[in-house]
Amino acid sequence: MREVFVYLQSTPNFLFGYIYKRKINIKIKNLARAKSEKLASFYTLHFIHKTDTAQLKTN
Protein backbone atom coordinates (compact mmCIF):
# COMPACT_ATOMS: atom_id res chain seq x y z
CA MET A 1 0.00 0.00 0.00
CA ARG A 2 2.83 2.39 0.83
CA GLU A 3 4.42 1.86 -2.59
CA VAL A 4 1.17 2.76 -4.34
CA PHE A 5 0.84 5.98 -2.35
CA VAL A 6 4.44 6.96 -3.07
CA TYR A 7 3.84 6.27 -6.78
CA LEU A 8 0.68 8.39 -6.74
CA GLN A 9 2.53 11.22 -5.07
CA SER A 10 5.18 11.20 -7.78
CA THR A 11 2.74 11.31 -10.70
CA PRO A 12 2.14 14.71 -12.33
CA ASN A 13 -1.65 14.46 -12.00
CA PHE A 14 -1.43 13.99 -8.25
CA LEU A 15 0.94 16.93 -7.98
CA PHE A 16 -1.25 19.08 -10.24
CA GLY A 17 -4.32 18.18 -8.20
CA TYR A 18 -2.54 19.05 -4.96
CA ILE A 19 -1.33 22.40 -6.31
CA TYR A 20 -4.79 23.15 -7.74
CA LYS A 21 -6.46 22.41 -4.40
CA ARG A 22 -3.91 24.59 -2.59
CA LYS A 23 -4.55 27.48 -5.01
CA ILE A 24 -8.31 27.17 -4.55
CA ASN A 25 -7.87 27.06 -0.78
CA ILE A 26 -5.65 30.15 -0.87
CA LYS A 27 -8.13 31.96 -3.15
CA ILE A 28 -11.01 31.16 -0.79
CA LYS A 29 -9.01 32.44 2.18
CA ASN A 30 -8.03 35.59 0.28
CA LEU A 31 -11.63 36.19 -0.76
CA ALA A 32 -12.79 35.82 2.83
CA ARG A 33 -10.07 38.18 4.02
CA ALA A 34 -10.88 40.71 1.30
CA LYS A 35 -14.58 40.51 2.13
CA SER A 36 -13.96 41.14 5.83
CA GLU A 37 -11.61 44.04 5.03
CA LYS A 38 -14.18 45.50 2.65
CA LEU A 39 -16.88 45.26 5.33
CA ALA A 40 -14.59 46.86 7.91
CA SER A 41 -13.79 49.78 5.62
CA PHE A 42 -17.47 50.17 4.73
CA TYR A 43 -18.53 50.34 8.38
CA THR A 44 -15.67 52.74 9.16
CA LEU A 45 -16.73 55.09 6.36
CA HIS A 46 -20.36 54.75 7.43
CA PHE A 47 -19.43 55.66 11.02
CA ILE A 48 -17.38 58.67 9.87
CA HIS A 49 -20.24 59.83 7.66
CA LYS A 50 -22.76 59.47 10.48
CA THR A 51 -20.62 61.39 12.98
CA ASP A 52 -19.79 64.15 10.49
CA THR A 53 -23.43 64.68 9.51
CA ALA A 54 -24.45 64.63 13.17
CA GLN A 55 -21.86 67.32 13.95
CA LEU A 56 -23.02 69.43 11.00
CA LYS A 57 -26.62 69.24 12.20
CA THR A 58 -25.67 70.38 15.70
CA ASN A 59 -23.58 73.32 14.42
Q: Which domain holds residue 18?
A: 1-57
pLDDT (tens digit per residue) in 21-31 = 777 777 778 87
pLDDT score, position 11: 55
Q: What is the pLDDT of residues 30-58, one digit of tens each?
A: 877 888 888 888 888 888 888 877 777 77
For residues 37 and 31, give the distance between their C-alpha atoms in angstroms, rounded to a whole number. 10
Q: Number of structural domains, the chain?
A: 1
- 30 residue type, one letter: N
> How far is residue 4's CA from residue 9's CA, in Å, rounded to a whole number?
9
pLDDT at 1 over 50: no
Residue 44: predicted pLDDT: 87
pTM of the model: 0.44
